[in-house]
Each structure stands twice: as C-alpha cells, then as structure tokens.
Amino acid sequence: MKETVNIIGAGIGGLTTALTLEQKGLNVELFESSAEIKPIGAGIIIANNAMQVFQKLGIEDKIEKAGNKISYMKITDTQLNNLSVVDLSAYENKYGVHNIAIHRGELQKILANEIGLENINLSKRLLKIEKEELFKLTFDDNTTIESKLLIGADGIKSVVRSQLFEESTLRNANQKCWRGICEIELPEKYHNELNEVWGRGKRFGFVKISDKKIYWYALANSKNVKYDEVNLLEMFGEFHNDILNVISATTKEQIILSDIIDLKPINTWQKKNVCLIGDAAHATTPNLGQGACQAIEDAYILGKLLDDGIAIEDTFVQYERLRKNKAHAIVNTSWTVGKMAHIESNIGVRIRNMIMKNLSKSANKKQMDMIFKLN
C-alpha cells in the first residue's frame, strides 16, 4: 500500500510539492485554511530555476501561456536610467526555459487543476498537533486526522513549525510594501523586462504579467510612513512619469499593503516523519524574487531523492542537507540587498548608485549562476 503524505498549506510550495509527490507515485492529502482556491494576491516572477522544475513536471507551457516572458532584469535610478542590467538570454539558452511574470492566483490555479481540486481539503485551518506514534492533527472545524508523514508548507507563521520545532524568530525589515495590479498600455520597451527603481529610502518595481495587466510593488522605510492610507503619487512624486502613470491606473481595491518580514535562518527543518518547506522553513524578504522559487526547489529536491530510491520518510534528512546552504544564502543576500536599496542619505545614494553601475558583469553572473542552478 502506498504511503500517504499529508501537506499543510496549498500555497505555491504546498501545491508544487503535492504535484511532485503524486507524480512519484505517492498518495497526497492537502489541507488548506482558505475556503477556496481563488486568484488572490498580486504578481510573481517565476525565475529560471523554478521554471526548470515546472518543465520537469510538464506544466511549463501552461505557465508560459498564462504569463509573460522576462528577458532582462534592471535596477535603475528614479528616472529609469540603468544602474544594473542582467541579460537573461544566456540562461534561457543554457536551461531552455524563460523567467515568467504571472499573476500569483493564475499560477495557483494551474497547480490546483493539475492536482485536482477534489484532492484539496479546504477550510481546514490547523490548530493543534499531538505526537504519539502518529501525528494527530486537529482543525478549527473540530475534525481530526492521524498522519504518519507530515509536511508543513503553511508559510512564515507556520503552525507545524511553531508546534513541532524549536522556537524561531521573525525579523521585521522595517519596510512597508504596497503591491498592485493595473491595466495600462506600457511602452513596448518595458514588455519583456522587470524594472526596479531605487530612490532614497524607497523603491518601485513593475513588470508586465499578461497582455493587459501590470504587476507593481512599492516599498518605503516604515519610519517614513505615518499612516497606512498614504498617497503613493505624492510619495513617489519625484519618480519617472511612467511609474506615476502605473500608480494612477490602479484602483485602491487592487492594492495590498504588508510589512516586509523574514524568518531568521533556522538549522532544523525536519524531524522524524515531518519536514518544513518553503516559507515555513526559510521565509525570505522579496529582494531577489526567490521566495516561491525556493519553495518550488524544495519540492524538486524531495522528488529527486525519491527518484534515487530513498523512502519518503528518509528523504527529509537528505533534503535538509541539500537545500539549507542555498536557501540560507538567498535569505541573507536578500536581507542585505533590501537594506542597500533603502539607503536614505543623499551621499549614500550617490555612492550606492555608483557601486551598482560599476558592479562587474562577473559579479552579477556569479549571483545568477548560484540562484538558477538546481542542486
């Protein structure tokens, strides 16, 4: 009889893990706290490393059709003058996949349909885990299940982590983030690139995610944001008009506000018959665009270990060993980049921009090589 793996959380990491394990011949049960899988959230960039995983899972084409190919990643000053440009064509040729910008909800829908909505248990918010011979899981609707194998894909505030692992620390980057979706005709030069615009103590990024939709994000140092209700046109008034046009085209209902937090790196992601994946194990700030991508890599490694003939309960130790160094490097580098992007002094900004302009192509290449190469 095939083992059943219970996965808590049907976000991108949980769904990708479920699909991977299903394709390896395991029974999978998904438990999701939301009442439905619906297109919430804003945009996301599925980087080359994650697209390699989706190619192996056979869903690359569906994701490409639902999103928009990105061939350049640019950091600019407030007037969209380039500070750093990463041409992704070499990686497209090397790995045979593109970076794809897509609505997060569209990606979740593709993954959920592949798994089958009937295999996702909705309105199942996990409250309590008791460990005897098996795990006993109690949900907020008073139902319980017993589970031999458990995967926590339940995000940065993971119940699985808080109840079964040592105490962990969430870190606040002291930055506010607004994420938005709008419909606007972007100038053609922006169609296949991500632009992130660095100012003084704030920045703005935008990318096309479909024929008509643009995903954007804006961040500012929290100490400069006195109220949640702020006028973003005023806050980013000195930025290029193309950015102000994007903000103007966005209704208030299409904007999500959140704090930027991550998980201070933890050393233990697994114990007997339980492991953490994605944000539950290694939540990162979004400055490298790798949060969901690293969860997708987690799923890939679990699948690869199963291909090597290792029993599912024995893969967790190897998975932790193989994934920890890269995931922690992403967390730490992203934290540093976020601080650099939000320098406030005029002289600091001038020095930072000069450093970014003079950053060698080999330094950029070294970072991209690390990010895009699967273990």
Q: What would the pLDDT profile of 66-90 be if each residue is shown by its tens digit?
A: 999 999 999 999 999 999 999 999 9
Bridge partners (DSSP) of residue 217 are 179, 205
Q: In 3-state terms, what secondary structure has residue 297?
A: helix
Residue 66, classified by CB atoms within 10 Å of its CB into exposed (0-12), middle (13-18) or buried (19+), is middle
**Helix H or strand E segment including 334:** helix 312-341
Q: What is the pTM of this model?
A: 0.95
Q: How far apart are CA 313 and CA 271, in angstroms?
A: 10
- pLDDT, residue 1, reads 54
Q: What is the spatial order of strands in the sheet that 72-76 belongs to?
A: 82-87, 72-76, 193-198, 202-208, 213-221, 170-183, 255-263
Q: What would the pLDDT profile of 245-284 be if each residue is shown by its tens digit?
A: 999 999 999 999 999 999 999 999 999 999 999 999 999 9
Q: In 3-state terms, what secondary structure has residue 296?
A: helix
Q: What would the pLDDT profile of 18-32 be if each residue is shown by its tens digit?
A: 999 999 999 999 999
Residue ranges and CATH numbers for the domains of the chain are 4-170+262-372 (3.50.50.60)
DSSP string, 10-45: -SHHHHHHHHHHHHTT-EEEEE-SSSS----S-EEE
Q: What would the pLDDT profile of 90-135 be if each residue is shown by its tens digit?
A: 999 999 999 999 999 999 999 999 999 888 999 999 999 999 889 9
CA distances from 302 to 22, 127, 164, 320, 362 (A): 12, 26, 20, 10, 32
Q: What would the pLDDT profile of 289-312 be if each residue is shown by its tens digit?
A: 999 999 999 999 999 999 999 988
Mean pLDDT of 4-10: 96
Q: In 3-state terms, what secondary structure has residue 233?
A: helix
DSSP string, 112-136: HHHH-GGGEE-S--EEEEEESSSEE
- pLDDT, residue 226, reads 82
CA distances from 224 to 77, 181, 334, 366 (A): 20, 24, 22, 35
